[in-house]
Amino acid sequence: MQRQHHTKGIILKKEQRSEFDYAVTLFSPELGKIKATAKGSRKITSSFCGHLETLNICNFQLYQTPYRFTILQCQTETNFKAIRADLQKSLFAMLLLEIFEKSTYSDEHGAELYQLLESTLTQINNGQQYFLEIEEFKLKLLNFMGVLPDIKNCSFCHKPWLQTNGQPNVWLNQDGHLSCDECSHKLIKPSKIDFSVIKLIAHLTFQDKPQKNIRMDSLQKNRLQQISNQFLNNYLDQEMRSPKVIAGLSNVDY
């Protein structure tokens, strides 16, 4: 087992470990999600001060034993100043970190997942409107984890969506199953989805660089967000704090 690692990572969470130490949850392209102890990092004289902050991208030197990781050195590479200076951006960045921290478990797809999180945070840091970036992040994350429902075909007969006067009828239930008209009787309390939303979900999920100059009305935006959140909540099966905080601030819009 390699005992020392030099890696870049995004800090997802920081918790007090003891009187003098922090436990840091970070995600590395090579190691995946790990929790590491930074000894003495709570002391005001510590060399870690200002570096071990949630959201920072840092270069780490880690020491690994069979039981734990210890942070030996840490140097900030990116701290997303524009996010930290803006309440709205900070809230949505914390939302992404919470989703990512609760969704990832190993180094599987580590490089792709790391790139997805870093690029989305960069877009929030540099942009003004980022609704589609956040929705793209949720959908691609679920797809990387292998838990996104089949959104190109009916969940039951597995046929591609049939065109009916140019637009097929697509049905969705609370378990995240998508159905065509012929199979909709197999769903309990399904709701009909505008096919344009399904096409947008597929576009955001499977295109490397999806177009972001897409015009959407408020109903389409709400429906897209509801569906992506439903897929996410079905996978996580646990309560998230960030959406409640964001929902409580009426002046926050993305």
pLDDT tens-place string over residues 16-32: 988 889 999 999 999 99
Its pTM stands at 0.88
pLDDT over 80 at 247, yes or no: no
Torsion angle (degrees, nearest 10) of CA 100, 106, 108, 112: 30
Which of 193-201's residues contact partners 24+ apart within 8 Å by CB, and which partners?
Answer: 193/223, 193/227, 194/220, 194/223, 195/161, 195/167, 195/168, 195/169, 195/170, 196/220, 197/223, 197/224, 197/227, 198/151, 198/161, 198/170, 200/224, 201/139, 201/151, 201/227, 201/228
Mean pLDDT across 205-215: 84
pLDDT score for 73: 94
Q: Which of 50-59, 222-231, 245-254 is modeled with the greatest confidence? A: 50-59
pLDDT score for 130: 86
| Rounded Cα gap, residues 157 and 109, in angstroms | 30
Mean pLDDT across 114-125: 95
**Residue 163 dihedral angles phi and psi, to the nearest 5°:** -85, 125
pLDDT score for 29: 93
Q: Which of 139-143, 206-210, 212-216, 247-251 is modeled with the greatest confidence? A: 139-143
Q: Which of 33-37, 150-154, 208-212 is modeled with the greatest confidence? A: 33-37
| Mean pLDDT estimate for the chain | 87
pLDDT score for 79: 94
Which of 1-4's residues contact partners 24+ apart within 8 Å by CB, and which partners?
Answer: 1/64, 1/66, 2/64, 3/63, 3/64, 3/65, 4/61, 4/62, 4/63, 4/64, 4/72
Q: Would you place residue 108 in the very low, low, confident or very high pLDDT band (cuts 50, 70, 90)?
A: confident
Position with higher pLDDT, 50 vs 97: 97
Residue 192: strand pairing partners: 171
Query: For residues 23 and 15, is the Cβ–Cβ distance under 8 A?
Result: yes
Of 74-78, 84-88, 196-200, minimum mean pLDDT range:
196-200
How large a percentage of the chain has pLDDT more than 70?
90
Q: Which residues of 22-61 are buried (b: 16+ CB within 10 A; e: fewer)?
A: bbbbbbbbebbbbebbbbebbeeebebeebbebbbbbebe
Of 52-56, 74-78, 89-93, 102-106, minimum mean pLDDT range:
102-106
User: What structural domains and CATH numbers belong to the chain?
Assistant: 4-78 (2.40.50.140), 82-149+194-247 (1.20.1440)
